[in-house]
Structure formats: structure tokens, C-alpha cells
Chain A
Amino acid sequence: EADIYQTPRYLVIGTGKKITLECSQTMGHDKMYWYQQDPGMELHLIHYSYGVNSTEKGDLSSESTVSRIRTEHFPLTLESARPSHTSQYLCASSEITGGYGNTIYFGEGSWLTVV
């Protein structure tokens, strides 16, 4: 089992609220990711990080922001939630090297509903 944890698992929140989705991994992985996935749809990379103090935007534009102050922690923040942010957010991590060593491991996901 992968040692990557997300909280909260489920969140229902009102429009305009600020939210932070937490993600922690204990595998010592340098590379971490946030994906967004609607039910039955494909994964979209929204943010990733190579290591501490590194953050990059992914392929899908997102109003969320991320930070990487510690290797094991990669939180995602929405300053003002909107109904269009309703989705599943999946955190993941992998090793820094290329090749077959960088299997990606996912957390169980955070289901966000903005009402």
C-alpha cells in the first residue's frame, strides 16, 4: 500500500469559502502532483513539484494554488471556492529519477462539493 494520505476525504462547502486540501507522503518522494478528475472522466494534472520550494502548473489551468515547504507535504488551496470547483482531487507522488523507478502512487482522493 502507498503511504500517501489526503484530508479531508469528503468536503461540502459554501461558495466563497477558502479551503485547503492536505496531502502528505512518507515515502521520501521528491516529486508530488495534484490531479483533478470528474466522475467517469480522465485525469487532469493541475500542479506538480520537484521538491521543496518548487511548484509548477500542470496541463489544466486551475484557480488553486499549492506550496511545498516540506518534502512530505503538498497542500492545495482554493481562496474562494465556486461550484465549478466541484470535483475529485487526487494527490500523488513519485521518485525523482526517470525510468521505471518513478512509479506514481496516489492518495485516496478528496471529494469536494461546492454549493
Chain B
Amino acid sequence: RKEVEQDPGPFNVPEGATVAFNCTYSNSASQSFFWYRQDCRKEPKLLMSVYSSGNEDGRFTAQLNRASQYISLLIRDSKLSDSATYLCVVNISRVGDSSYKLIFGSGTRLLVRP
């Protein structure tokens, strides 16, 4: 079983739709969580961190459920430019510990159609 699992998709949605992705992680020592976005043939870029209380950035909402060990990303009012692969990233570490490990999920592909 992978340490971080994502539905590979693709999620094919019309413009304006709301879409949600989930990501599950297996290591309960995971400390911090992120969503990255990767466009085709480009490098991954940080989309947002995911905090315990949940956080929002414009049309994007991220949530963390430590009890069930999953994080989610909600995209409202989808735009054509949201088409990309969304990578879940989990950091297994203790604060101040340099030997932390960043685990990437394999990504969920989103296609937003006109």
C-alpha cells in the first residue's frame, strides 16, 4: 500500500462546476500537508498548505481530517485554467527534525471543459 494515495482520475468537469479531490495517508506521524499543482510537462508548484482548521484561498478550500487520515481539496466555479494534475504532499516529521520526509501522491488529473 502506498503511503499517500490519490484517485488518478481524470476528473472531467464542465466550466463552473465544483470538484473535490481526496487524498489518504497511512502514517499517523504526518505533520504537515500540502496541495501542489502540476501543469503538463511543467514542474510542480505549491497551491496551498492544508491546516487542521481548514483553509481557503479564493475558489480553493483545503481540509484535513487527522482522525481519518485524509486531506481534501475543493475547487469551486472551475475554470479552464484549472486543468492540471493536483498532487497531495505529506510531510512526516517532528518540528525541528531535519530528517523529515516529503511523500508525494501520484496525482489526480483534472480536465475542465468549456
Which chain A residues have a beta carbon within 8 Å of chain B's beta carbons? Answer: 30-31, 39, 41-43, 50, 88, 90, 94, 96-100, 102-109
Contacts and interface: CB of A to CB of B under 8 A. Distances in A.
A50 B98 CA distance: 8
Majority SS at the chain B contact face: loop
Contact of B32 (A39, A41, A99): A99
B31 A94 contact: no
Contacts of A39: 41
A96 B98 CA distance: 5
Interface residues of B, number: 27
Given A39-B41, A103-B49, A98 B96 contact: yes
Nearest to A94: B102
Contacts, number: 59
Contacts of B57: none
Contact of A42 (B45, B100, B104): B104
A106 B91 contact: no
Given A42-B106, A98-B93, A99-B95, A90 B32 contact: no
27 contacts: A41-B106, A43-B87, A50-B99, A94-B102, A97-B96, A98-B93, A98-B95, A98-B97, A98-B100, A99-B31, A99-B32, A99-B91, A100-B32, A100-B49, A100-B51, A102-B91, A102-B93, A102-B102, A103-B34, A103-B46, A104-B89, A104-B102, A105-B46, A106-B44, A106-B45, A108-B43, A109-B42
Task: Pick the most buried of A98, A99, A102, A109: most chain B CB atoms within 10 A of its CB.
Answer: A98
